[in-house]
Structure 1
Amino acid sequence: MKLFTAGPVACRPEVLQEMSRQMFSHRSKEYQELQKQVVEGMQRFLETKSHVFLFPSSGSGAMEASIRNCVERKVLCCICGEFGERYARVAQTNGREVVRLEVELGKPITPELLDEQLKHFPDVEAVTITHNETSVGLLNPLRELAKVAKEREKLVLVDAVSSMGGTEIKFDEWGLDVCFTSSQKCFGLPPGLAIVAVSA
């Protein structure tokens, strides 16, 4: 069967073969070594010296964790499609005040729009950005948006669920604070694992 979706995607044969091996304990040396290899590999991949965490959750679980752990009161959510909207809903559901920077579907969030909104709402603590908005097939200019947010001393929280592994992300150089994905998209793995980089 062929899967023509953004995710889950078809797994490569070697991934399926690896999954057929016998389990080992999460407390074993084998697991500790595997975890270390994965984390160090992701740090190289994202060009970061920051922390990388593995969550037994979906990308939405990592999204909620970013809000609950990084925003005390108020967040600005960039919305140009369904997944930017989801970030805003998650923030509201978790009791955060949401400032919406919303553009017409199919249009990107521009640095100029973000800068203008941050001038009007200087008290927001963080900015959420959906890097690749799959609902409309749009890649937001992450590097430029992050630069604007950092110039105004805001945390930058990035939903890279459908972009990490498919396009360039330089976590440290671009000044990102949280950037997450899930295993079933560009990495071509089964669902169930979220990968989250967090600035030190």
Structure 2
Amino acid sequence: MSKTDPSAAQADLFDSPTAARAETHRLFFALMPDAAIRHAIEQAAAAVQQQHPALRARWVRPERFHATLNFLGDFPAVPDQVLEKALAAANTMHAQTFAWTLDYAASFRGHEPPCVLRGSQTPTELLALWRNLQAALVATGLRLRDERQFTPHVTLAYARQELPQATPVPPIVWHVDRFVLIHNVVGKGSYQILGHWVLSG
């Protein structure tokens, strides 16, 4: 009777394309554009791509365009307690609608530097929404990473190199009237909206 090498069996288990791989479930609050703003962002991304072909980037699909507000964390499965507390915190929010103008593309540093769309001016209402939601989340007892600074942006791509300089785009005036809670299985499929909250006029 032949014997199986345990180390070889273990290697087969982890190397096999059919082997189960651990999933990462990501939860975060965000602003999601409507169809018109999504199309305008897509056009801005195409213009940046045309002007900077050397980026050799992985461009974000339009249906995934968003601006992250408050990041809740990465988990091996969706944690019910975290979800319940996040929903409870969001339900306490009272925030005003606002207009946010996106008018240039720039790069963040890092591995595969993100190419992002930003605004020259950050609305005070946007800062207040981020700050107050963070405080509400902490008040529920959630342990969040310490966010001392908020740089609102929409990620367009993950590139091989940084943009050489900020690149102006035709201004996109985004009238923000809601925020959402997103569940994302990293590397798989589309975003799942777990809740949305309308801002007051």
TM-score (norm: length of structure 2)? 0.21
Larger CA Rg, structure 1 vs 2: 2
The structure, 1 or 2, with the larger RCO (C-alpha pairs under 8 Å, 6+ apart) is: 2
The structure with the largest strand share of the pair is 2
